């Protein structure tokens, strides 16, 4: 076999593998879009799903996935707690 033929076969194999990998990645991304921080996609759908942490953390119960994403962003940006949060914390400390 000529070197040029081997190169064409190897190049074609690499191109097919790359195309298959790209297709797989795009299909997965389409099926499970992630919501995090300011990169929120499809807010309406995420506002209907429960928070992913609802089973593990009491304060996450009742929140939606969108609320959870916003809360994570606020914490990351060190926004101060609301007045209600401060009152609740004081009440817990006084009990």
Mind listing the pLDDT tens digit for each residue in 77-88? 776 667 787 788
Mind listing the pLDDT tens digit for each residue in 4-17? 677 777 777 877 77
Please name the residue ranges forming H helices in 1-95: 3-31, 43-46, 65-76, 83-94
Tell me which DSSP letter residue 58 carries: G
Q: How confident is the model at residue 69 (pLDDT cuts 50, 70, 90)?
A: confident
Q: Return the higher-pLDDT residue of 32 and 48.
A: 48
Contacts of residue 76, defined as CB under 8 A and 6 or more positions apart, other chains included, come to: 37
Per-residue model confidence (pLDDT) at position 42? 72
> What angle (nearest 5°) sits at the alpha carbon of residue 18, between those of residues 15 and 19?
85
Contacts of residue 33, defined as CB under 8 A and 6 or more positions apart, other chains included, come to: 41, 42
């Amino acid at each position: 076999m000529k070197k040029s033929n081997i190169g064409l076969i190897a190049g074609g194999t690499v191109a097919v593998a790359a195309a298959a990998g790209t297709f797989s990645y795009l299909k997965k991304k389409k099926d499970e879009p992630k919501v995090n921080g300011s990169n929120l996609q499809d807010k309406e759908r995420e506002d209907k799903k429960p928070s992913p942490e609802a089973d593990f953390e009491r304060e996450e119960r009742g929140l939606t996935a969108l609320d959870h994403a916003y809360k994570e962003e606020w914490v990351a940006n060190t926004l101060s707690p609301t007045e209600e949060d401060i009152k609740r914390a004081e009440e817990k400390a006084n009990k």
